[in-house]
Structure 1
Amino acid sequence: MLSASGLHVSYGPIEVIHGVDFTVESGEIVGILGRNGMGKTTLIRGLNGSLAARDGRIFLDGEDITNLPMHVRSRRGIATIVQGRGIFPKLSVWENLEMGRIAGGKRKASRLDEVIGYFPRLGERLKQLAGSMSGGEQQMLAIGRSLMSHPKVLLLDEPSDGIMPILVQQIARILAEINRNEGMTIVIVEQNVPMVFSLTSHCIILEKGRIVAEGNRDEIADSDIMKEYLAL
């Protein structure tokens, strides 16, 4: 479904991701764990096209998308929920959701009812300005907006950041429900290990831009990896 081969990604002259290889199967949830500054966000940006690959290849459903710009990758089915949510604070909840539909292609049918089914709070606040909502509600909106584009793959960058634990748990349950109901592929970048472990058994550990460990949840949890690379 989504894979990277020998992927290198840079910020200007500084290489941050150093030749990573991984595959995310269709319908799978994969957690990418690592401490601050280890390259997790850079990897997400390389996958979604907001940063160009310096070397290596990226494939979606067998198609080489390495040189496709971000907006084309979006229309191919890659949706990103950025750290900090990236909503439009001066637009209403409904307008934010509509922006997601447009990003997926103007002819895309509306998924408004389905999105509200996952996030009833959004249905209660359609006319409310997005910037007036809580951090957790804004994260729900960011995910809902991405769903409006009919994605194949959801890339989430630190979705628990700045959100109350009870809402983090709720969002994790909804992501699991989306995956279960729609078979949607989800890649979640996080420092919140319990959240990732609640969602997936397939984990990748990133350290200084390199994959230093990959395996199932139990293998990661029962090894020295947690102490060495996650400071847990």
Structure 2
Amino acid sequence: MLELANLDGFYGRSRALQSVSLSVDTGDFFSILGRNGVGKTTLLRTVLGLMSRTTGSVRLDGRELIGLPTHERACAGLGYVPQGRGILPAFTVRENLMVGTFAAQSAHGDIAEWVLELFPILKEFINRRGGNLSGGQQQQLAIARALLSQPKILLLDEPTEGIQPNIVEQIEQVLIDLNRDKGLTIVLVEQNLKFARRASNRFAILNRGSVAVDGKIAGLTDDLIHEHLVV
């Protein structure tokens, strides 16, 4: 589904991502782990074409994405939920959701009912401005908006950070169900190891912009966690 080969990402002249090679298979729930500042968000931004400069290869379903602008990568099938959510505060919930449909291959402007059923509060607040939602509600909106782009793969950057526990549980279960019941391929940047272990089938740990270790989730041992993740 997604193949990264010798991928470098630059902020100006500074190389923040160094020769990353990873493969995400169709139907994977793939967690990207690591301490703060090791390059997890940078990896997603590089895949999406949001860096100053990128070298290497990003292939989605066999199609090379390097050189394409971000909006074309979205249309090719990359869905993205950024850290900080990226909600348009002056837009209503409905208008935020409609933005997501513009990258879809079909049904532009149509808000699929099944997406609203994932997060019923969005249907209740459909005409409320995005800026008037709580942090947890905004995160639900950001996920729903990304799903309406009909992605082949969904990239999420710490979707449970700073959210009240009851909504965290709901978001976690929705993501697990999307992967296991609908077969959606998910790449998750996450600090919550308990969630990553429960949801994922594969993982990678980053350190200083490079892949330190990757493999099946059963290989995420306590020793690895102590070595690479414990602060």
TM superposition score category, shorter chain reference: over 0.9
Amino acid at match of 1:82: P
Is the Cα–Cα contact under 8 Å of residues 29 and 199 in structure 1 kept in the other structure?
yes
In the alignment, which residue of structure 1 is the partner of 2:190?
Answer: 190
Residue 85, structure 1, aligned to residue 112, structure 2: no
Moved more, 23-32 or 103-112: 103-112
CA distance in structure 1 between the aligned counterparts of 2:202 and 2:164, rounded to whole angstroms: 25
Deviations 1:84-128 (CA, angstroms, capped at 9, x unpaired): 000011111111001111233675372430111111111111011
In the alignment, which residue of structure 2 is the partner of 1:103?
Answer: 103
Deviation at 1:221, TM superposition (A): 2.6
CA distance in structure 2 between the aligned counterparts of 1:153 and 1:111, rounded to whole angstroms: 19
TM-score (norm 2): 0.95
In the alignment, which residue of structure 2 is the partner of 1:220?
Answer: 220
Is the Cα–Cα contact under 8 Å of residues 79 and 149 in structure 1 kept in the other structure?
yes
% identical equivalent positions = 40
Give unpaired runs (5+ residues) of structure 1. Answer: none
Deviation at 1:173, TM superposition (A): 0.4
In the alignment, which residue of structure 1 is the partner of 2:228?
Answer: 229
CA distance in structure 1 between the aligned counterparts of 2:157 and 2:93, rounded to whole angstroms: 21
In the alignment, which residue of structure 1 is the partner of 2:209?
Answer: 209
Amino acid at match of 1:173: Q
Is the Cα–Cα contact under 8 Å of residues 17 and 42 in structure 2 kept in the other structure?
yes
Residue 50, structure 1, aligned to residue 50, structure 2: yes
Deviation at 1:201, TM superposition (A): 2.5
Q: What is the SS of the residue equivalent to 1:174?
A: helix
Amino acid at match of 2:75: R
Q: What is the SS of the residue equivalent to 1:72?
A: helix
In the alignment, which residue of structure 1 is the partner of 2:29?
Answer: 29
CA distance in structure 2 between the aligned counterparts of 1:217 and 1:181, rounded to whole angstroms: 19
Q: What is the SS of the residue equivalent to 2:9?
A: strand
TM-score (norm 1): 0.94
Amino acid at match of 2:99: M
Moved more, 98-107 or 194-203: 98-107
Is the Cα–Cα contact under 8 Å of residues 11 and 52 in structure 2 kept in the other structure?
no
Count, aligned residues: 231
Residue 181 to residue 53, structure 1, CA distance change in 2 (3 Å): farther
Output aligned runs, 1:125-144, within 5 Å. 125-144=125-144
